[in-house]
Amino acid sequence: MAHSIAQRKVKKTSRGLASLRPDFAERRIRQVSAWIVLFLAMEGELGLAWDRSWHDRLGRDQFWIPPHIMMYTAVAGIGLTALVVVLVNTLRYYQMQVGVDDSSTVGVLRFFHAPFGFALMGFGALTDLIAAPLDNYWHLLYGIDATLWTPFHLMGAIGAVILGLGSVYAFASEAAHERQSGYPSRRFAGLTGPEWGFVIFIGGFMEFVLPALTAFIPILLDPVKILTYPLILVLASSVCLVSVYLCIRKPGITLLAVAVVCLLSVVTETYIPFALRFMAARLELTFRVGRPPIFNIILALLPLAYLFCALMVEAVAYWQRRTGNAEQEPLRRVWLVGALMAIPAVMMPPAIAYAINVLAPSIPLSFDVVLVLEPSWLNMLISLPLAMLVGATMAFVGTVFGDIWHWNKQ
């Protein structure tokens, strides 16, 4: 009883001190805006996954199909949120408000002043919105395509990457301000708001790449194939899991990120068949080649590959805690950790597809995923060195995000 009363007093004191911060208003504006952007990014990601299946199952007879509306509403919302933050920060900069100065903002087009992350978000959203009509014109010229490798799909992907970097910078700057402010931060399950935002963003990105596996078809070199799906998997696992550990430096943080991926994956694979069937019935559309949408159990189980990668990072971090101060040191031999992540990235996806096909043949499998994940020991062995190179390289990129998290205040 006494312990719980003491806890309540600490929480009350924490809230009181936070509200007395000189830059409290600026921190609130940026953090609320960052969470709005994260929510809209999750909506856009779900819309994109739905859009892929819509093109594949129903075609593309016009631009204003439901998944496009969902996706571009999210992108427009992110762009408007970034614009509002830029304009509000510019006004507050010229009013010389606390927390808005040259150390916490960057100049944009000489006149405007804004947090670096939100400036990036704005440019990313603008890139995606410009890509939309150009992509529509491409489809009018060349018809339906459900692949990543067209000019304006790639332009949209570049815009999404810029937007994602902006989100990382926005949460990183807020985390840096909280660490250096001297005021206690509110925590949930041991993490601050910016830390939770970063973990959810990382989980969202890792889930985002799973449906894209079907775009990474094997490269034929008779009599073998070089598998390309491991490249995107090991890229996501190495850069995301290394960065999330180096940013937050808490035991089990990579496992928490993978748990977020698992949750988002199940939600996505449950939502897509339901949304496709519902909207097809409402719009009186028929599925192409008689292929109704199904729950894609392979994509729902693919986060298991991430789980093995997370356990590698946690094992190295545990070893460092036993031999030194892991909270202050970077991960040792990070290149080796990233390279080893290629093993589950290469082996787990076809192993999952093969196990389902053998142990539960009655479960329907998506044809395009099975085609990409066709198991072959020779092809996997040949593809492993390239995947290890990508993993080692992207692990170093993950250390860069760790640095951004600890020094960025803009």
Q: Is residue 268 domain-shared with residue 361, that is, in the same domain?
A: yes
Boundary-marking domain end, from 185, 212, 233: 185
From CA 139, how far away is CA 145, in angstroms rounded? 8
Q: Is residue 89 domain-shared with residue 134, that is, in the same domain?
A: yes
Q: Which residues form the domain of 79?
A: 1-185
Residue-averaged pLDDT of the chain: 81
Domain count for the chain: 2
> Cα dihedral angle (26, 30, 31, 37), rounded to 10 degrees?
160
**Pick from 210, 209, 221: nearest CA to 382:** 221
From CA 389, how far away is CA 7, in angstroms rounded? 49
Give the type of residue at 216.
F
Q: Is residue 348 domain-shared with residue 394, that is, in the same domain?
A: yes
Give backbone dihedrals phi and psi of 225, rounded to 5 degrees, phi first.
-125, 140
Name the packing angle between helices 342-359 and 377-407 (round to 10°).
130
Q: Is residue 179 domain-shared with residue 201, that is, in the same domain?
A: no
Q: Is residue 114 domain-shared with residue 225, that is, in the same domain?
A: no
Give the CA distances from residue 375 to residues 135, 349, 380, in Å, rounded to whole numbers and listed in that order. Answer: 34, 9, 8
Q: Is residue 163 domain-shared with residue 140, that is, in the same domain?
A: yes
Q: Is residue 362 domain-shared with residue 389, that is, in the same domain?
A: yes
Q: Is residue 361 domain-shared with residue 232, that is, in the same domain?
A: yes
Boundary-marking domain end, from 185, 204, 219: 185
Q: Is residue 19 domain-shared with residue 70, that is, in the same domain?
A: yes
The three-point CA angle 146-147-151 to 5° equals 115
Q: Which DSSP string corresponds to 51-114? A: HHHHHHHH--S-S--HHHHHHHHHHHHHHHHHHHHHHHHHHHHHTT-TT-STTT-EEETTTEEE
What pLDDT, in 10s, does the model give residues 124-157? 999 988 888 887 777 776 666 556 667 777 888 8
Q: Is residue 215 domain-shared with residue 247, that is, in the same domain?
A: yes
Confidence at residue 368, expressed as pLDDT on a 0 to 100 scale: 63
Boundary-marking domain end, from 165, 185, 205: 185
Q: Is residue 130 domain-shared with residue 10, that is, in the same domain?
A: yes
Q: Is residue 88 domain-shared with residue 72, that is, in the same domain?
A: yes
**Is residue 120 a contact partner of residue 163, using CB atoms and an 8 Å limit?**
yes
Neighbours of 158 (CB within 10 A): 14
Structure tokens at 133: 């009509």
Residues of the chain predicted below pLDDT 70: 1-20, 59-61, 141-149, 182-184, 289-291, 324-330, 365-372
Confidence at residue 7, expressed as pLDDT on a 0 to 100 scale: 47
